[in-house]
Structure 1
Amino acid sequence: MADTETGPLTSSPVVGKAVRNGNHRTARIIAIVAGLLGAAMAIATPLLPVEQTTAELNWPQDGVLQSVDAPLIGYVATDLTITVPCQAAAGLVGPQNAGRTVLVSTVPKQAPKAIDRGLLIERVDNNLLVIVRNTPVVSAPLSQVLGPDCRELTFTAHADKVTGEFVGLTQGPNDEDPGAPLRGERGGYDFRPQIVGVFTDLSGRAPPGLQFSATVDSRYSTTPTLLKTLVMLLGVVLTAVALGALHVLDTADGMRHRRLLPARWWRVKPLDGLVTAVLVWWHFVGANTADDGYILTMARVSEHAGYMANYYRWFGTPEAPFGWYYDLLALWAQVSTTSAWVRLPTLVMGVLCWALISREVIPRLGHTVKTSPAAAWTAAGLFLAFWLPLNNGLRPEPIIALGILLTWCSVERGVATSRLLPVAIAIIIGALTLFSGPTGIAAVGALLVAVGPLKTIVARHVSQFGYLALLAPILAAATVTVILVFRDQTLASEIQASSFKSAIGPSLSWFDEHIRYERLFTLSPDGSVARRFAVLTLLLALAVSVAMTLRKGRIPGTAAGPSRRIVGITIISFLVMMFTPTKWTHHFGVFAGLAGSLGALAAVAVTAAAMRSRRNRSMFAAAVLFVMALSFATVNGWWYVSNFGVPWSNAFPEWRFGFSTILLGLAVLALLAAAWYHFSGRDTSPEAGGRLQWRRIIQSPLAIATWLLVMFEVVSLTLAMTDQYPAWSNGRSNLEALTGKTCGLADDVMVEQDINAGLLQPVGVPVGEALGAGTDRGFGPNGIPTDVSADPVMDQPGSANFADTPADSGLETDGEAGTEGGTTARAGVNGSRARLPYGLDPARTPVLGSWRSGTQQTAALRSAWYRLPPRDSDSEPPLLAVAAAYGLDPARTPVLGSWRSGTQQTAALRSAWYRLPPRDSDSEPPLLAVAAA
């Protein structure tokens, strides 16, 4: 009886072990097969076929001659074919058709530079001329075109040549080839015309045989075939199976599974609430990034284009391989396009970044970092110092910053548990981060630090399972993101798009990285107080952490491995950033998570426990003060409309004295204190013993500096909102969106639909004589230079692309709405021949100027009185915007100018609205004299 009862007891462990070994053998086979097949499916995805959507633009529509707008994102068609019956030109001859000149064109004839960019088949001096990109192709006298011999005019355009022929007509005796068909051809250059539509001066029914057919360049409008779809699905499933098998192999060590998120994760501390509150408030009042407008437009256009097309720089080429984040944004924007809504994922990413820093990064850096209030406050301050000025928009830097942290945390979990699955997940997250945007290359550092731990963990398991079973799932994880990148594109199309982007530019080399740092020291939003402080402080924290690690092997009180990996990721990220094709300071936003993590290390490195020398701590305080002084030696500028109302937006911050001067003086005092400690012999170690928590915080200069800058930024943008109110501001617009007012700036923009209809009329004086009716000394109708273009400025390297870079390489003049000047053949209402900007009608707008060739002289002008339009008694008093320059009383008139020492830059100015005095109901309408030049 006893033997029978004890038999099963002694055999049960053997059976359990046999079952586990069988499970591991099966998992080993699955890991190898699924991992290799999953990787093969992913690698094959870019090579599999896709279905291309083709489109044609055909005209006329419904047999009616009517102009249509059809702008192409690619500007030109793949090919163009036009057939026009010769008799259609009859609509261009005769006195009744004197104003009709265009038979067919691809651009409106009145558009600026229409003849330089488009195709026009038009009447010129009794000839019918075919001209494309200001190059004549073929022409014939209208008398012959309307004769019995001419059947039709044909025109074809391809990338290598364009041809035009009058079918039925021959060359005359004085032509190059008498008797040959009247035909013209142009090649050696891409003469294909820009197409923004099909336009004609004719009307009525379309004659038989009239045809315009353009093949739209839709090479990137592709969808996956059934084969490619099945391969992609199978690749994702096999990768998931391989990772599941890898998890089974991980459990062979018999260790108990650890919780993914410990209970402390959900414990909210006061610092967490403060950081979240700052992020939420900044989400509404803070400044956006410079690229938000065109990124949102790209996302909205993608729904109809079929792919994420970058129309802004690269003529509609796809954003892939960096477009998957924008695709998510496109889905998000379908709900609403208000700023507060489309940027909501950015806010969530900011909160998640801080959660990872405070709950995953800081505890892994060691007990001293975990328990140090100075470390936590410095981490929060430095994280916010990066996030607020750099990551409050739609650019991919926020998700890259989050991805770098997630990758590092996954690597550290794998190291701590000796498991390969977290490392494989880290590789997936790192690859997704890499393909979030060009600056995602910073994620390479987070992947490289996984190489060492991966080798160690594999070495522990290789004897039991072999290399292939362990590495095949990791290979599948490393390649699975290829499926996401090439889901609707091919390798050939991506190579073509990348080469096109490199050719167009900007595409700077790695050795041009200095341009990014040069911009950091310009007086512009790229080099503003906030951005300069964030980057310089990170470099200071990195320098201190590296110095302490090299001197002592590790920072006292920190975990050596995680601390070195954080420092290593930061250094590698700075190095690989050199290989991004553009060099803007907003790319530094990818360091937001790393900055907070490194700030915690630096705060511990300079505590009294780690750095016992009072001299050295004083020198560090001096370095922090010097960084602050250098940061405040610039403008408090923000991009575009976010700059409205911001204090010191175009000047160095100051109050009685410049902030930079005060901070520099404090830095000198800190250096003097360091010298006193060194020479007085008082550079002794501090006494042991605890201190009050608040005293430990205030003795961390990095924490104080970062939070002062965060307060400065938040207060600046909050004051911008309150000072601007009730006028428009970024903050007011975002807060009003919560109440249902979602039109943003559009509600506050006043549009003058007809600028000529709003001109004031003079009282008792003809329009042509009104400007000089009062005082006219030295002014004349043609006292204006023929060229009033803005002064040429040197374009900064990397800020332009090939398509808009002038031939003289670097110099450009900016002019909009016809402000470049010039003369016209017909005189205006007061005899002036000056070309007017903004669509002003010379027949209704008098012009006077005091310019003359040679030495300039003082001049004076006073206009006649102008009558204001009547207003309703229940309406607000009318508002009038006045722009004037020179000749005003300096004691009563503020003056602004755009001149600066050194290289001049293009500038623009528009005044505020001025309120007119109220008038009595029984009086005449008020009169106002306006002098402007």
Structure 2
Amino acid sequence: MRARVRRRWLTAVACCAGALTILGALALPVAPVEVNDPSVSWPLVATAPESTLLSLEAGKPLDLKAAFSCRAVDAAAATEADRASRVVLATTDPDQPERAEGLRITAENGMLTAFLGTTVLFRDRVPASSCRYEIGAVDGHLVYTRDGQRLGTSAMPDVDALVTSITALPGPDLDVTVRVDDRFANSPAPLKLVLLGMVAISAVTAAACLLALHRRKNPRRKRRFRIGTPDVLVGAALVAWLFLAPRTSDDGWMYAMAENHQHAGYFGNYYMYHNNSYVPFTWLLRLYSWWLELGNAPVLLRAPSLLFGIVTWLAVRGAVAEVARGRRMFVPALLFLAWWLPFGLGTRQEASVAACLTVTVAAVLAARRRQRVAYLGLAVGAASLGLIAHTAGVLVVLPLALGAGAAVKLVRRTARSGAVAAATVVCVLSCAAVSAFAGFADGTLADFLRGSSSFGGGLETGPPDPLHDEFDRYRSLLGGNSLGNFALRTPVLLLLLVLPFFVVLCVRARRRRRPLPWALWLTGWTCALGLGLLVLTPSKWTWHFGAFAGVATIFLTWSALAGPGLVRRLVGDGRWTAVLGTLLLTGAAGWVLLSGAGRNVWADDVLPGVPLAGQPLLPGTVSIVVTGLVVAGAFLLRRRRGAFAPMSAATLVVACFLVAELGFLVGGFGVATARTWHTWSPWADAVRDPLAAQCGEARVLRVADPDSARPVEVASGAPVTDGFERNVWYSASPPEPGPATAEVYGNVPDESGRPARFTSPWLKLPSGLSARNQLMTTVSGQTGDGNSLTAEFATASGEVVATTEFSAAEDDIGWRDVSISRGENLPPGAVAFRLTAEVTRNWLSFAMPTARQVVPVGSALPRDGRTLVDWQLTWLYPCQGQPVLADGIVSPVSYAVGFGFGPDESEHAATSGGTWTPGVGGLLGPQLRSSTITRLYTVLDTDPGTPMRTVYRFTRPYADNAYRLRRGTTTAPGW
């Protein structure tokens, strides 16, 4: 009787705790939060306004208020300067209004004119008497007034800076306040803190009640876990891959998001999308932010993926235990490594999704096999965590949906009453509260809705087209870039090869009314339906296939080991079995050829020491296919004849290719490590310096340091300037001051079309020219297409012995370093040189030659957070730090290491990436519009040709932080 009462109480507590957990978890996304509400006031000194950089994360402010007097208008009208003349107030570069929708108010000839971009908002005759202009926000729009009289309205402008040409005022005649949009930075309000505590306590209580309700008095003795040779093989491969693995495209992005959390107060996209919140996909980033306390070396940052790999392998091991024992365990080991090594190698979220999905599948299988309801709670908890790990986490719903029928039967069978069954269901469902806790503890539903542009496409292109994205995913998989290399192709194409045969078996089993093994059925349909469900994930990247790593390993293992017996039982030994085997053997041969056609390329196109880098494996693949078929045929002729011979041959071909492919993958990077041990490569560096104490690639990427420039001595003569003048350049893009550009010449465009020509005096060739000490100039404007910049080399007698046109075709107002000579191929007897220029189109400006030191980036670039490294390269530069994004403001950037090369408008240019593009909320977009950038001469020791790295230097005409920042908070509901 007492036990019955205790059970009733336990059931009641379980129902209450489970229901309270579910309701609390649903309330967490909409619970109130304290939202950061910073504002900027400017100018710092009312009587001495100073233009300042103000790069907003969101691009536009929440609110803008400004007021200025007629005295300020008169002061602006009286200014005359190279840049920003007669400007009362501007929020972007006033000399390039077409580049942004910025506010620009100018004063000239007694008129005040306001623009938004290039659109005129109003013109107003400035009165002779005192007056006051004001700008304020009404319903999200700016309203412009003079002494209360309405002049016009506009949308909120872009804000890159606060600019004025006024340098002195008698009093506070100019005042601007900008309310910065930093709504993603929030923390739980007191009510939400209470709710979090309540959900935590009730969730633990519900889990304890679930275990207590279904506790067995005499539990079955558990099988002891024994480590076998396959486990050692998998563990050794994962640990080796921790050091040898190449990078993925987004390793640096994930690292930067986790790193900036301590400054921003939330996990944002950092490089793009205006740093939009990543809610609810943040628990993995939180793990990385904690892990960063140990260091930011690539080896350390890969450790979580190693942990996920071990968890996934253990779950796979449990799910295939019925069919893979002893030496058969090598089959799942081989398949698991084929999936995990190419897909689970970095910080991307697919590793965590794969782990959660595999644990979910293994728990569903274990619940049915062991008749334990507690495994259902584990499955729901793991699935909920996987669902908010990444958009590909939508796959976790499939094993739950497919196993729902078996779960209901299990609950009915084990529950002693309807009340216990209801309590069990509630407690099992309450395990999903882990997702609300992990995803919305410091985020809200509003964050997710407002930041949705982070998950697919961009801000200007509109919503993504799922079908088009899915087509792109497979096109990328079969393409020639790093998203379709041989290692990524191999497991995915193998899964696509086996799934049709699985469907045939399912149809045959249904007709024969002989069910397939439940593990094979569950994982097979999870994979088949998952490929379709993946269409809904808003990304075209092939990395998403990595979410299948564990469940596909289970499915393929069951197919390989249980498949022949199923075919014998369902189809027989007759003609149809031979047909299926022949089709499978033909498909296996095609799979090998198609997989081997993938190139050996990864996210880093520079692969020092790697065998067949950038090349397809096709020649070796053909040999493997032919050899495998010959071996298989010879083996089967001796051991087996009949209908199953082609199927066995196909299995042998698959096994041989997987062994060869994995051997080349791991062995190739092992060979590369040995080849580059005394030079440099990421893999050798990871083994030799696992904690990145020597700063990675920063010691082998070199730039021509502008500050080291030394003028070249004049030998004889004087410059001949036919159409060229000194200190002439594009007005909106002056050269940065310094020794490298101390003497600049540019042509003045002639309306008659007459060519402009320039000839420098003869200059002495400096001694000691080399790859580390080069002759250089800095160029802006158009070279090529009718314009030329040439170096002539002469002997001591004045004889010209060589002429070299050294500036490639390009047309850009930005400045770029150009190497005249490294000193390695100087003409014999040359002791002097001179520059000649001819311009027939547009304009050209260039600096007189200087000798510059080409030094490592690690010593040339600052480590104080003013150097931005593009996400594709961030891992390789662990010592450079990164600019801080905090309070809705991007800190000033002085240097950038971009992923790309070539002219800024070319296909492979670093500046064509998302980081540099304002239209997609690129981090550097606003500063790119308000700065002069110089593309420094860049060379990588391991690839002196065209490395996918370019260093840029930013020069701004405005002060960096000449404003006053005020911080505040407001309480807001989560919706």
Shorter-chain TM range is 0.7 to 0.9
How many angstroms does 1:126 deviate by? 6.7
Structure 2 counterparts to residues 729-748 of structure 1, below 5 A: 729-738=681-690, 740-741=692-693, 743-748=695-700
1:474 paired to 2:459: no
How many angstroms does 1:438 deviate by? 0.5
Q: For structure 2, list consecutive stretches of 5 or more residues without a partner in the other structure.
A: 748-752, 791-807, 809-815, 839-975
1:362 paired to 2:320: yes
1:246 paired to 2:202: no
Residue of structure 1 equivalent to 2:953: none
Distance 1:716 1:836 in 2: 47
Using a 3 Å threshold, how does the CA distance of structure 1 residues 665 and 49 change in structure 2: closer, same or farther?
Answer: same
Residue of structure 1 equivalent to 2:151: 184
Structure 2 counterparts to residues 454-853 of structure 1, below 5 A: 454-466=407-419, 467-498=421-452, 504=459, 507-512=463-468, 513-548=470-505, 550-551=507-508, 560-605=517-562, 620-640=584-604, 643=607, 646-653=610-617, 658-659=619-620, 662=623, 682-683=641-642, 700-721=652-673, 728-738=680-690, 740-741=692-693, 743-754=695-706, 757=709, 764=716, 827=724, 844=744
Out of 56, 61, 64, which is 2:44 matched to?
61
> Max radius of gyration: which structure?
1
How many angstroms does 1:614 deviate by? 7.7
SS of corresponding position for 1:318: coil
Distance 1:490 1:746 in 2: 39
Distance 2:527 2:452 in 1: 28
Distance 1:863 1:927 in 2: 12
Residue of structure 2 equivalent to 1:174: none
SS of corresponding position for 1:638: coil
Distance 1:928 1:385 in 2: 58
- The Cα RMSD (Å) is 4.9
Deviations 1:468-523 (A, max 9, x none): 22222123223452243232333344334438967836643443322321221222
Distance 2:685 2:519 in 1: 44
How many angstroms does 1:664 deviate by? 6.7
How many angstroms does 1:30 deviate by? 1.4
Aligned 8 A contact 2:718 2:760 in 1: no
1:120 counterpart letter in structure 2:
R
Residue of structure 2 equivalent to 1:378: 331
1:435 paired to 2:435: no
Deviations 1:210-229 (A, max 9, x none): 21111112332222222221
Residue of structure 2 equivalent to 1:310: 269
Distance 1:389 1:761 in 2: 55
Distance 2:5 2:505 in 1: 51
Aligned 8 A contact 1:129 1:138 in 2: yes
How many angstroms does 1:910 deviate by? 12
2:224 counterpart letter in structure 1:
A
Residue of structure 2 equivalent to 1:162: 142
Aligned 8 A contact 2:186 2:265 in 1: yes
Using a 3 Å threshold, how does the CA distance of structure 1 residues 597 and 166 change in structure 2: closer, same or farther?
Answer: same
Deviations 1:279-327 (A, max 9, x none): 2232223221112222222222222222222244432332112222222
Structure 2 counterparts to residues 206-285 of structure 1, below 5 A: 207-251=171-215, 254-256=217-219, 259=222, 262-264=223-225, 267-285=226-244
Aligned 8 A contact 1:115 1:132 in 2: no
SS of corresponding position for 1:508: coil
1:508 counterpart letter in structure 2:
P
1:103 paired to 2:83: no
How many angstroms does 1:667 deviate by? 8.6
Aligned 8 A contact 2:295 2:691 in 1: no
1:328 paired to 2:273: no
1:301 counterpart letter in structure 2:
N
How many angstroms does 1:340 deviate by? 2.0
Residue of structure 1 equivalent to 2:8: 25
SS of corresponding position for 1:138: strand
Using a 3 Å threshold, how does the CA distance of structure 1 residues 838 and 212 change in structure 2: closer, same or farther?
Answer: closer
2:552 counterpart letter in structure 1:
A
Deviations 1:579-607 (A, max 9, x none): 11222111111111123223322332566
Aligned 8 A contact 1:622 1:667 in 2: no
How many angstroms does 1:77 deviate by? 0.5
TM-score relative to the length of structure 2: 0.70
Out of 106, 110, 113, which is 1:129 matched to?
113
SS of corresponding position for 1:751: strand
Residue of structure 1 equivalent to 2:379: 426
Deviations 1:110-166 (A, max 9, x none): 6x657633223334567543322222233456xx46x4x132332235665333334
Equivalent residue pairs, number: 784
Residue of structure 1 equivalent to 2:250: 291
How many angstroms does 1:917 deviate by? 5.5
Using a 3 Å threshold, how does the CA distance of structure 1 residues 508 and 832 change in structure 2: closer, same or farther?
Answer: closer
2:257 counterpart letter in structure 1:
M
SS of corresponding position for 1:337: coil
Distance 1:600 1:868 in 2: 69
Distance 1:157 1:729 in 2: 55
Using a 3 Å threshold, how does the CA distance of structure 1 residues 480 and 653 change in structure 2: closer, same or farther?
Answer: closer
Aligned 8 A contact 1:432 1:481 in 2: yes
Distance 1:589 1:722 in 2: 29
Aligned 8 A contact 1:604 1:610 in 2: no
1:495 counterpart letter in structure 2:
L
Using a 3 Å threshold, how does the CA distance of structure 1 residues 549 and 707 change in structure 2: closer, same or farther?
Answer: farther
- In percent, how many aligned pairs have the same letter? 22
Out of 27, 34, 38, which is 2:21 matched to?
38
Aligned 8 A contact 1:80 1:157 in 2: yes
Aligned 8 A contact 2:360 2:382 in 1: yes
Using a 3 Å threshold, how does the CA distance of structure 1 residues 531 and 95 change in structure 2: closer, same or farther?
Answer: closer
Distance 1:235 1:156 in 2: 44
Using a 3 Å threshold, how does the CA distance of structure 1 residues 352 and 37 change in structure 2: closer, same or farther?
Answer: closer
Distance 2:761 2:45 in 1: 55
Distance 1:212 1:37 in 2: 49
Distance 2:515 2:608 in 1: 45
Aligned 8 A contact 1:378 1:596 in 2: no
How many angstroms does 1:81 deviate by? 0.6
Using a 3 Å threshold, how does the CA distance of structure 1 residues 709 and 881 change in structure 2: closer, same or farther?
Answer: farther
1:591 counterpart letter in structure 2:
F
Aligned 8 A contact 1:50 1:224 in 2: yes
The structure, 1 or 2, with the larger RCO (C-alpha pairs under 8 Å, 6+ apart) is 2
Distance 1:125 1:761 in 2: 49
How many angstroms does 1:54 deviate by? 1.3
Residue of structure 1 equivalent to 2:906: none
SS of corresponding position for 2:538: coil
Aligned 8 A contact 1:756 1:841 in 2: no
Aligned 8 A contact 1:299 1:308 in 2: yes
Residue of structure 2 equivalent to 1:801: none
Using a 3 Å threshold, how does the CA distance of structure 1 residues 106 and 722 change in structure 2: closer, same or farther?
Answer: farther
Residue of structure 2 equivalent to 1:342: 301
Deviations 1:175-208 (A, max 9, x none): xxxxxx4x53134xxx322223323344467832
SS of corresponding position for 1:82: strand
SS of corresponding position for 1:700: helix
Distance 2:55 2:92 in 1: 9
